[in-house]
Amino acid sequence: MHILSIVGARPNFVKIAPLIREMTRRPAFTSTLVHTGQHYDAAMSERFFRDLEIHPPHFNLEVGSGAHAIQTAHVMERLDPILEEVRPDIVLVVGDVNSTLAASITAVKRAIPVAHVEAGLRSFDRSMPEEINRVLTDAVSDFLFVTEESGRDNLLREGVSPEKIHFVGNVMIDALESSRHRWQGSAIAQSLGLDPGAGYAVLTLHRPSNVDDPRTLANLLEPLQMLSRHIPIIFPVHPRVRQRLVQQGCRLGDAPQPLEGKAIAYVDPLGYLDFVALVSRARLVLTDSGGIQEEATILGVPCLTLRDNTERPVTITHGTHGAPPLWDGHAAERILDVLDDYRQGKGPASA
Ligand code: UD1
């Protein structure tokens, strides 16, 4: 069975790593990896491939940045001939970024079954680009792999037939667990001049609703600057936010010393291993990222979600009180088991 997987943006790389590893382990599967090039900076892409031990993609569509419609259209235009050439049995997509949606539509138009990993999550906020991507991707998917119970409930409510829905757990946690010994060896706290004994917080912001409007961003930063007088805050800055922070008068690229509880340290985006290591030893995480909410849950680090809603309610209802069901590091195995059943004609012939 030939599976063609698509990745485009940073969180996709984390999710695909355990799936590729599992496909490689199983002789019945052939895997082709396509990178859309939605994220292209070394710090946002290459570094993640290295940290997560993912082989280089077979194809890179090099779509780069752009308006949503243009970015989505470029992925579709450039992926289509590859689907024609490779003729995969299944197209596998992860998460909720523009590349996820673009690949799903392209595949379904070629009558290739689509498997969506991380299906069913809903913020019920249609002003969020990812929510549109989630709803539309799920609508054309044949295999819907969900990470938490709310995903199944949402899909059933939308009329998806139950045999398409598979509650398998969270591949993001597979990645976290399988690389645990490597991120535990990271010296990032020392290289940032932090004293883990003294405590520090980690901050990330990149949602358009938080960072695109200067006034909203300023209103968010003000209380965070107050908080940083009590505990140093490390803020790895996503490229989307960089320019906007400079406009706000933030001094980016500063060496984080002296931190001593009196600063927000704006640092460059970190690699996967360093970032997880930094979070794992933090006293607190403040974030608008869905993936980091999930990682904090497993790492047992209190997380303040800087949003009005979340499509990942288990990170709030469960918080840090133990792992949510099936977040055990074996989600990729369960996903490949389902696809293997389908290969052998045992699964639902939904496609
Ligand atoms: C995208 C996803 C978001 C995900 C995030 C993770 C969509 C709609 N959004 O948001 O769900 O949480 O990735 O990071 O797909 N840029 C660079 N270098 C890069 C990538 C981006 O400089 O390697 C800059 C560009 O100026 C670009 C901007 O960041 O215009 C936004 O990038 P884009 O891919 O459109 O969305 P993200 O905000 O990264």
Q: What is the pLDDT of residues 269-292, one digit of tens each?
A: 999 999 999 999 999 999 999 999
Name the catalytic one among 58, 206, 238, 318. Answer: 206
- Are 247 and 107 contained in the same domain? no
Average pLDDT rounded to a whole number, residues 68-95: 98
Which of 240, 288, 292 is the pocket-test mutation for ligand 1 (most atoms within 8 Å of CB)? 240
Q: Which position has the token pair 């883990």?
A: 196
- Percentage, residues of the chain above pLDDT 90: 87
Average pLDDT rounded to a whole number, residues 16-41: 98
Q: Is residue 176 part of a domain?
A: no
- Let me know if 206 is a catalytic residue: yes
The atom number, within ligand 1, closest to the CA of 39 reads 23
- Are 44 and 123 contained in the same domain? yes
- List, chain by chain if needed, residues with CB within 6 Å of any ligand 1 atom: 9-11, 38-41, 44, 65, 96-98, 129-130, 206, 238-240
**204: domain range?**
182-317
Q: Is residue 289 part of a domain?
A: yes
- Are 311 and 332 contained in the same domain? no
Q: Is residue 145 part of a domain?
A: yes
pLDDT at 60: 98
pLDDT at 346: 81
Q: Is residue 175 part of a domain?
A: no
- Are 160 and 187 contained in the same domain? no
pLDDT digits over 223-250, tens only? 999 999 999 999 999 999 998 998 888 8
pLDDT digits over 143-197, tens only? 999 999 999 999 999 999 999 999 999 999 999 999 999 999 999 999 998 887 8
Q: Is residue 286 part of a domain?
A: yes
The atom number, within ligand 1, closest to the CA of 289 reads 12
Which of 41, 47, 65, 68 is the pocket-test mutation for ligand 1 (most atoms within 8 Å of CB)? 65
Q: Is residue 300 part of a domain?
A: yes
- Are 309 and 337 contained in the same domain? no
pLDDT at 31: 98
Please determine, for residue 252, whether its predicted confidence score (pLDDT) is greater than 80: no
Residue-averaged pLDDT of the chain: 94
What's the total number of domains in the chain? 2
- Are 188 and 224 contained in the same domain? yes
pLDDT digits over 195-213, tens only? 878 899 999 999 999 999 9
Three-class SS of the chain:
CEEEEEECCHHHHHHHHHHHHHHHHCCCCEEEEEECCCCCCCCCCHHHHHHCCCCCCCEECCCCCCCHHHHHHHHHHHHHHHHHHHCCCEEEEECCCHHHHHHHHHHHHCCCCEEEECCCCCCCCCCCHHHHHHHHHHHHCCEEEECCHHHHHHHHHCCCCHHHEEECCCHHHHHHHHCHHHHHCCCHHHHCCCCCCCCCEEEECCCHHHHCCHHHHHHHHHHHHHHCCCCCEEEECCHHHHHHHHHCCCCCCCCCCCCCCCCEEEECCCCHHHHHHHHHCCCEEEECCHHHHHHHHHHCCCEEECCCCCCCCHHHHCCCCCCCCCCCCCHHHHHHHHHHHHHCCCCCCCC
- The alpha carbon of 205 and the centre of ligand 1 are apart by a number of angstroms equal to 12
- Are 252 and 331 contained in the same domain? no
Which of 15, 38, 118, 307 is the pocket-test mutation for ligand 1 (most atoms within 8 Å of CB)? 38
- Are 163 and 247 contained in the same domain? no
Q: Is residue 187 part of a domain?
A: yes
Please determine, for residue 262, whether its predicted confidence score (pLDDT) is greater than 60: no
Protein residue closest via CA to atom 12 of ligand 1: 289
- Are 311 and 335 contained in the same domain? no
- Are 283 and 332 contained in the same domain? no
Query: pTM above the 0.85 mark?
Result: yes
- Are 92 and 236 contained in the same domain? no
Residue 351 confidence class, pLDDT cut points 50, 70, 90: very low
Please determine, for residue 301, whether its predicted confidence score (pLDDT) is greater than 60: yes
The atom number, within ligand 1, closest to the CA of 97 reads 15
- CATH code, domain with 249: 3.40.50.2000
Q: Is residue 174 part of a domain?
A: no
Please determine, for residue 334, whether its predicted confidence score (pLDDT) is greater than 50: yes
pLDDT at 350: 47
Protein residue closest via CA to atom 2 of ligand 1: 97
- Are 202 and 107 contained in the same domain? no
